[in-house]
Chain A
Amino acid sequence: MQMLTKFESKSNRVKGIAFHPKRPWILASLHNGCIQLWDYRMGTVLERFDEHDGPVRGIAFHPTQPLFVSGGDDYKIKVWNYKTRKCLFTLNGHLDYVRTVFFHHEYPWILSASDDQTIRIWNWQSRNCIAILTGHNHYVMCAQFHPKEDLVVSASLDQTVRVWDISGLRKKNAAPSSITFEDSLHRSAAAQADIFGSTDAIVKYVLEGHERGVNWAIFHPTLPLIVSAGDDRQIKLWRMNDTKAWEVDTCRGHFNNVSAALFHPRQELIISDGEDKTIRVWDMSKRTLIQTFRREHDRFWVLTAHPEVNLFAAGHDNGLIVFKLERERPASAVHQNSLFYIRDKVLRVYDFNSDSDAAVLSLRKIGGPYIQPRSLSYNPAEKAVIVTTPIEGGGYDLLHLPKDFSGEPREALSDSKRGSGASAIFIARNRFAVLDKTRQQIEIRDLSNQTTKTIKPPATVNEIFSAGSGNLLLLSTPQSVILYDIQQRQTLNEITMPFVKYVFWSSDHSQVALLSKHTITIANKNLEQNCMLHETIRIKSGAWDDVGIFIYSTLNHIKYALPQGDSGIIRTLDQPVYLTKVKGKSVYCLDRDGKTRVISIDPTEYRFKIALIKRNYDEVLQIIRNSNLVGQAIIAYLQKKGYPEIALHFVRDDKTRFDLALECGNLEVALETAKSMDREDCWNKLSAEALRQGNYQIVEMAYQRVKNFDRLSFLYLATGNMEKLRKMMKIAELRNDNMSRFHNSLFLGDVEERIRLLKEFGQLPLAYLTAQSHGLTEDAEAILAAAGLTSEDITDLPPAGQLLKPSIPIIRQNDVNWPLLTVSRSFFDAAFTVSDPNPLIAPINFADGVEVGEISGDWGGEEDLGFGVEPYKVAAEARIEGEDVEEGSGWEIDTDLTAQLDTVLTQENTNGAQGEFVPPTAGTAESELWMHNSPLAADHVAAGSFETAMQTLSRQVGAVNFAPLKQHFLRTFQSTKTYLQVNVALPSLAFNVRRNPEETEKRRLLPALAYNFQNIVSTQLQDAYKTTTAGKFQDATIQFKSILHSILLVAVTKRSEIDEVNQLIDICREYIVGLSMEQTRKKFPADDPDSTKRALELAAYFTHSRLQPAHLQLSLRSAMTLSYKAKNCLTAPMFARRLLELAPPTQVATQARQIQSLCDKNPRDEIALDYDQYNPFVVCGISYTPIYKGSPSVQCPYCRASYLPQHQGSLCAVCNVSQIGANGTGLKVFV
């Protein structure tokens, strides 16, 4: 057992602690009078309550209200509201230190114990004391309510523990609906009496046994037990029934005063702490010490258990610790769609697909009684698991799972393989790795638990994890993770990060997430880091989503991590869960009780982000269009990640749109928004961006809007737009802006204008100089004259300058823009500008599947053949048993014997000197075995023994013509051996393919056959039907014949299939005969009266072939039509009647009825036929004449086609294989 410290605080001595029932809060009342409210998950102080004077010893949260109560050495009990952070009121009454305070779980009561030797019960709603329990004759150190019954237990330094019955108090206070006046009167009188020790609360039992003062006593949550702890260093367990209470046992071990003791809420344990600086765990049933957790310097003063969660807290001299005694993470392993996990020491399997759960294996004997399995590793190939337990530095058990998971969970077999090691994982089908932490070595073991290899890791390793392939391991050291090759004993890569506790591989093993307490690193399979992210809250677990996003859980959130390091919250959690699988919108996880849960999430946000990262813009677009993904967060994200053009589509606000548009250079949108906002700064920004892109029309417009004349002028200068420049000058004149006028005249190169301007403004010297230097002497003199000066007066003229002329732009396109800077138009600009409906997301409707054959729709599909078991099954079986005795050969024993002898011989030889090596003789080839093992022709063909195969076929079906079987023989033969070059530069080895791969017994080995009966039925036969439907009779005949030939080389696996094979032969025969007749008929010239009779006969016979109903309809239609045309008005209606019986399509039916009614008028045949439809007949396969029942005939021994006796001895025209009338024992297809 270990102590898992969840939180530690540093403070003054903690005398009282209380967990909040729901939130991760703990109250600590300190010796210095302060009360602290901590968030133990975040590790921060939330609040301080500083009103008590002197130490505060008692503290408790109300189970439901936002209240807590405290009691201190100032004799005061204070009730606080933590929401308003105020003390609501103070209960005065105790005359000495208050030791403990507790709320009742149901009534508005507070129970307090005090050094004034009393226990008091207060009503915090009416804020007065409702009972005083007197009887102890020393300080009362502790008093607690029973969690369910009307009992109170108290502990006192008078060395007793007392149990009080408060049912009277409850009855009195349980607000009855109707109280009579007398009752209430009586009651108030009784309440008066309470003060002096009344009947409301009476001592039920006084438990004596402690030899010193008792510090603590508490009820068991469910059983009639009490545990108490005292200064005699003992913990006593008491039991009570309705009438009495007695001491059960004493736990000795503390070597100083025991401060507190309590029952573990879920297990049969007692936990205690004391001034000997230890926390101790005791077995409740055996009363033995199980574990001691020692602290260096701090004496413990108080101990409490969380009311809901599996947590404990203890207060000591310098703070408090929050801890738990067992890991709550259920050991689990995921394999494909199965989750293997351990709950209550039973290995269970949960199926993600079917949501079914089954207990598989009981692990009762694994680990110690309080020790839960820590981890699980599953081996799908061997159906085995390795369970590790933290017992004595770690141990593992290798267990085999039962073959199927149904039924009651089985006990793990006692002969399980076990060993010691901190972690143990399967690394290959037949190997696992074990880490021995103390000796710092990794052992590779095989399934019999034998060490095959020992490895010294390159650094101190805390934990090992699988790394996908069999010879790689991930080693977790305190500062890094190492990818280690165990074959080469080499470090392949290393990532520096804090101690990694869990590793999660993506399902395709291309990425791995490494989890430490506050850090996640995502790396590829070569352990090259992709990104690292930090969490302030503890990271608990993770799983990979099917699109390669890592989903993880912290204590209170489910979050996602994208490959480049972005993360975000998906949803909050009220309890920590351990993720096992993410599938679409479902997150599968295990909770702390080991139950499987499915949490639904909204994956839109991260799907969107990953699509962005992967540049899968179609999907981005689809998400944008189909989801309500909005909000500042996503816009900020897009902007930050450099997708302003996408963000643009989320925004309606003009200002933001404008900014985004500028960012992605989308001038149209910017212009549009600028217009609607019409703000100077916007126009300025727009003009800057437009100028950058060279779109001077927009620049011009922007300048015009903000009346930036200077820039406008300069723009016109730059673009060489003299006309507009002149206008600008006019405007300047109108504006009375002289400077601007001057500028514009400069830009225009208009010297006269400049001189005129300068004169106008009285800048005569400048005007003169301008005129003079431009050689306008007349003007210059006129100026001089106006000023009353002569040229002699002018001295110190600057030396001749240079002519200042605005350069003339080369391209002057007043209306056309400059060539623009290319702004990358992203996928989205295009996508969004396309007006709906968007072709990208519009569903594509495929044309409905084209029916095969134009008539097949009308003529009904290929109905089920309805292979049924028919009565001649018995005969077939009899035939089988009768035949094959001849094959049971005796000489395979000989081959076995020679092999054995050889083995002995070679063994002797190798034992002797090496030089005398005698090479062994060859053994029996597997193909030979096949021949011995099977009487089937097909198997002999596969074995390559064509001769014996032919003999067999000749004997069984009278086969004489093998030519059509050649390709079938070869096809069967060539599929019996696979080839693989095993050694370099050597010929490939052949491996025989078997049809019974599970078999290894030599005498039952059989070759795999290329022709599979079920395949023939499901594909070849259906194809042949389709061809028939399409009217390609010649092709169909070939197909049916090919089926007949293939059947000669099939083997069936079930006896029942023998009948089906025979049925298939019959079908083929019927079709071949029928289709051949039809082909013959069609060869007759259409209007040769001589052949009409024959044609009618053949058409009539064809209707008697046993065809599929669809095909039969076709044959009847043609026979009917032909007969009608030939005016055989007696026969035609017969066909019509038979046709109507088959429920043909309406159109056909109408036709048939018409023929019937027309023929009825003159029921007479023009041409007499050799056809008696009422007399059952078969058609001779060569002459196509009917052989009526009872007439002599001969048959084909294979396809059972009938022939007139004169054809005896010829080749069967149907199967083309057998000799008509030959003897055959029947085709064998079943071994």
Chain B
Amino acid sequence: MDELFALRNLFYTGAYQQVINEANSRSPLSESANQERKVYLYRAYIAQKKYNIVISDVKDSDIIDLRVVKLLALYLQAKDKNDATKKEEIVKEIKDIVGENSANQTVQIVSATIMVHEGLLEDALRILVRNSKNLENVALIIQIYIQLDRLDLAKRELASAKTWAEDATLAQLMEAWVGLRTGGDKYQEAYYIYEEIAQSPSSNTVKILNGQAIANIHLGRYPEAESLLLDALNKNNDDPDTLVNLIVVSGFLGKPEDVINRYISQLKEVAPTHMFLQDLDLKTSLFDRAAQRFEIA
């Protein structure tokens, strides 16, 4: 019996505050599970962008798992502050740690996470494939394959994971991700997966609502998607993904320009480095440059 079963599910479905509450509840666990629970606790804080809690809480005397989680917090903080030297330092440090603790799963996840942030997808994959029987590793691998537009590989990875992961929540989520890229009937299936997960009140998180909404957007069901996203916005009014998806769906719904622009400003406020904004900036300047060429002299 997996002692952390419920905790894991909460974590994967994005119920971070509940992970924190649960982990703080101190219900008796075995030693190893207790350590693992701490890892989830700090990773949940990171997911909430509360880096300082992690940085100040974790001591150098703590086990390696916690220390790498702290590194991740430091890295993400540096990234938010655009501190290139600090980032470089951490990347170097994490590379050393991976060298020594190549079998530690937390180390694998954290280092791969940092690699992905650094754009070193290949390195990340190399780290992750060392333990491809861990579902979380598979989840990262699948994300990277999708990012690389290698849906074929993602599908293969998913199929093999499903043979041993039964119907774990994370496995279902992965199926949904791949489905959202595959399209066709898979959109509907992805929707079902999210809908099913959302039925449990603890999993009705911003993340899951977004998933459900996205599936609706892809299926062309814009009003439904919008209402789900507004729900999500109510739960957390500065979740960047919710805002982006709202921008998308507002576009399809023919909302006035000022409504969309408000969402964009809000997004610039909470996540100035979001890929969406980067893309948009890039395209804006691209537009100006390209447009010039056609002007009548």
Interface of A toward B, CB cutoff 8 Å:
381, 428-429, 431, 444, 452-453, 468-471, 487-489, 509, 899, 902-903, 906, 910, 914, 917, 919-926, 944, 946-947, 950, 954, 959-963, 966-967, 969-995, 997-1000, 1005, 1008, 1010, 1012, 1015, 1019-1020, 1209-1211, 1219
Known interface pairs A923-B152, A966-B287, A983-B139; A993-B248 also in contact (CB < 8 Å): yes
- The answer to whether B244 touches A1012 (Cβ under 8 A) is no
Interface stretch, picked from B28-36, B87-95, B177-185, is B177-185
Known interface pairs A980-B211, A989-B146; A1010-B113 also in contact (CB < 8 Å): no
CB neighbors of A among B33-76 (8 A): 43, 46-47, 72, 76
- Classify chain B: how many residues form its interface, as a range: 35 or more
CB neighbors of A among B127-143 (8 A): 129-130, 139-140, 143
Residues of A within 8 A of B260 (CB): 971, 974
Min CB distance A453 to B, Å, is: 6
A-B contact pairs, 29 of them (CB 8 A): A509-B199, A920-B153, A922-B150, A946-B283, A946-B286, A950-B293, A954-B294, A961-B294, A962-B290, A962-B294, A963-B291, A969-B287, A971-B257, A973-B280, A978-B214, A978-B217, A979-B245, A983-B139, A984-B46, A985-B46, A985-B113, A986-B116, A986-B143, A988-B240, A989-B177, A994-B183, A995-B220, A1000-B182, A1012-B252
Min CB distance B168 to A, Å, is: 8
- The answer to whether A1000 touches B189 (Cβ under 8 A) is no
- The answer to whether A489 touches B1 (Cβ under 8 A) is yes
Q: Told that A920-B125, A1209-B296 touch, could you supply 19 new A-B pairs with CB distance under 8 A?
A: A428-B196, A429-B189, A452-B166, A922-B149, A923-B149, A944-B279, A944-B283, A946-B283, A961-B294, A969-B287, A979-B241, A980-B241, A981-B241, A985-B72, A987-B275, A993-B218, A993-B248, A998-B184, A1000-B184
Checking B76, B151, B296 against A985 with a beta-carbon cut-off of 8 angstroms, the contacting residue is B76
Checking A469, A990, A1005, A1211 against B196 with a beta-carbon cut-off of 8 angstroms, the contacting residue is A469
Min CB distance B223 to A, Å, is: 13
Alpha-carbon distance between A906 and B157 when the two chains are bound, in angstroms: 12
Asked if B188 lies at the interface with its beta carbon under 8 angstroms from chain A, I say yes
Alpha-carbon distance between A415 and B217 when the two chains are bound, in angstroms: 36
- The answer to whether B188 touches A984 (Cβ under 8 A) is no
Closest B residue to A1020 by beta carbon equals B254
Residues of B within 8 A of A431 (CB): 167
Alpha-carbon distance between A488 and B169 when the two chains are bound, in angstroms: 12
Known interface pairs A487-B5, A919-B122; A950-B290 also in contact (CB < 8 Å): yes
Residues of B within 8 A of A979 (CB): 240-241, 244-245, 274-276
Residues of A within 8 A of B130 (CB): 914
Min CB distance B49 to A, Å, is: 10
Residues of A within 8 A of B106 (CB): none
Known interface pairs A914-B129, A971-B260; A487-B143 also in contact (CB < 8 Å): no
Interface of B toward A, CB cutoff 8 Å:
1, 5-6, 11, 43, 46-47, 72, 76, 113, 116-117, 121-122, 125-126, 129-130, 139-140, 143, 145-153, 166-169, 173, 177, 180-189, 192, 196, 199-200, 207, 210-211, 213-214, 217-220, 240-241, 244-245, 247-249, 251-252, 254, 257, 260, 274-276, 279-280, 283-284, 286-288, 290-291, 293-296
Alpha-carbon distance between A950 and B291 when the two chains are bound, in angstroms: 7
Closest B residue to A975 by beta carbon equals B251
Closest B residue to A948 by beta carbon equals B290
- The answer to whether A926 touches B149 (Cβ under 8 A) is yes
Closest B residue to A963 by beta carbon equals B291
Alpha-carbon distance between A429 and B260 when the two chains are bound, in angstroms: 36
Min CB distance A574 to B, Å, is: 41
Checking B152, B199, B211, B275 against A468 with a beta-carbon cut-off of 8 angstroms, the contacting residue is B199
Closest B residue to A923 by beta carbon equals B149
Residues of A within 8 A of B11 (CB): 984
Residues of A within 8 A of B183 (CB): 994, 997, 999-1000, 1005
Closest A residue to B213 by beta carbon equals A978
Alpha-carbon distance between A984 and B109 when the two chains are bound, in angstroms: 10
Min CB distance A137 to B, Å, is: 77
Known interface pairs A899-B150, A923-B148, A988-B241; A975-B247 also in contact (CB < 8 Å): yes
Closest B residue to A996 by beta carbon equals B183
Checking B5, B213, B283 against A973 with a beta-carbon cut-off of 8 angstroms, the contacting residue is B283
Alpha-carbon distance between A999 and B184 when the two chains are bound, in angstroms: 5
Known interface pairs A944-B279, A989-B146; A488-B167 also in contact (CB < 8 Å): no
Checking B167, B207, B274, B283 against A452 with a beta-carbon cut-off of 8 angstroms, the contacting residue is B167
Residues of B within 8 A of A444 (CB): 167
- The answer to whether A920 touches B166 (Cβ under 8 A) is no
Closest B residue to A895 by beta carbon equals B149
- The answer to whether B296 touches A429 (Cβ under 8 A) is no
Checking A453, A903, A975 against B167 with a beta-carbon cut-off of 8 angstroms, the contacting residue is A453
Known interface pairs A922-B149, A978-B214, A982-B173; A1012-B257 also in contact (CB < 8 Å): no
Closest B residue to A990 by beta carbon equals B275
Residues of B within 8 A of A978 (CB): 180, 213-214, 217-218, 244-245, 248
Residues of A within 8 A of B187 (CB): 997
- The answer to whether A1019 touches B254 (Cβ under 8 A) is yes
Residues of A within 8 A of B254 (CB): 1010, 1012, 1015, 1019-1020
Min CB distance B166 to A, Å, is: 6
Min CB distance B92 to A, Å, is: 19
Alpha-carbon distance between A45 and B283 when the two chains are bound, in angstroms: 90
Checking A923, A981, A992 against B207 with a beta-carbon cut-off of 8 angstroms, the contacting residue is A981
Residues of B within 8 A of A910 (CB): 129
Min CB distance A1205 to B, Å, is: 17
- The answer to whether A970 touches B248 (Cβ under 8 A) is no
Residues of B within 8 A of A992 (CB): 181
Known interface pairs A985-B113, A1012-B252; A488-B149 also in contact (CB < 8 Å): no
Residues of B within 8 A of A1008 (CB): 220, 252
- The answer to whether B295 touches A960 (Cβ under 8 A) is yes
Alpha-carbon distance between A902 and B287 when the two chains are bound, in angstroms: 34
Alpha-carbon distance between A31 and B152 when the two chains are bound, in angstroms: 83
- The answer to whether B287 touches A982 (Cβ under 8 A) is no
Alpha-carbon distance between A944 and B152 when the two chains are bound, in angstroms: 24
Alpha-carbon distance between A1012 and B248 when the two chains are bound, in angstroms: 14
Alpha-carbon distance between A579 and B130 when the two chains are bound, in angstroms: 58
- The answer to whether B113 touches A986 (Cβ under 8 A) is yes
Checking A914, A924, A946, A1219 against B290 with a beta-carbon cut-off of 8 angstroms, the contacting residue is A946
Checking A899, A925, A926, A960 against B152 with a beta-carbon cut-off of 8 angstroms, the contacting residue is A899
- The answer to whether B251 touches A974 (Cβ under 8 A) is yes
Checking A925, A980, A999 against B210 with a beta-carbon cut-off of 8 angstroms, the contacting residue is A980
Alpha-carbon distance between A192 and B189 when the two chains are bound, in angstroms: 88
Give the most central of B116, B150, B166: most A CB within 10 Å: B150
Min CB distance A1013 to B, Å, is: 11
Give the most central of B149, B152, B220: most A CB within 10 Å: B149
Alpha-carbon distance between A944 and B188 when the two chains are bound, in angstroms: 27
Alpha-carbon distance between A1210 and B192 when the two chains are bound, in angstroms: 55
Min CB distance A914 to B, Å, is: 6
- The answer to whether B196 touches A924 (Cβ under 8 A) is no
Alpha-carbon distance between A993 and B219 when the two chains are bound, in angstroms: 9
Min CB distance A963 to B, Å, is: 6
Closest A residue to B44 by beta carbon equals A984
Alpha-carbon distance between A487 and B8 when the two chains are bound, in angstroms: 13
- The answer to whether B126 touches A919 (Cβ under 8 A) is yes
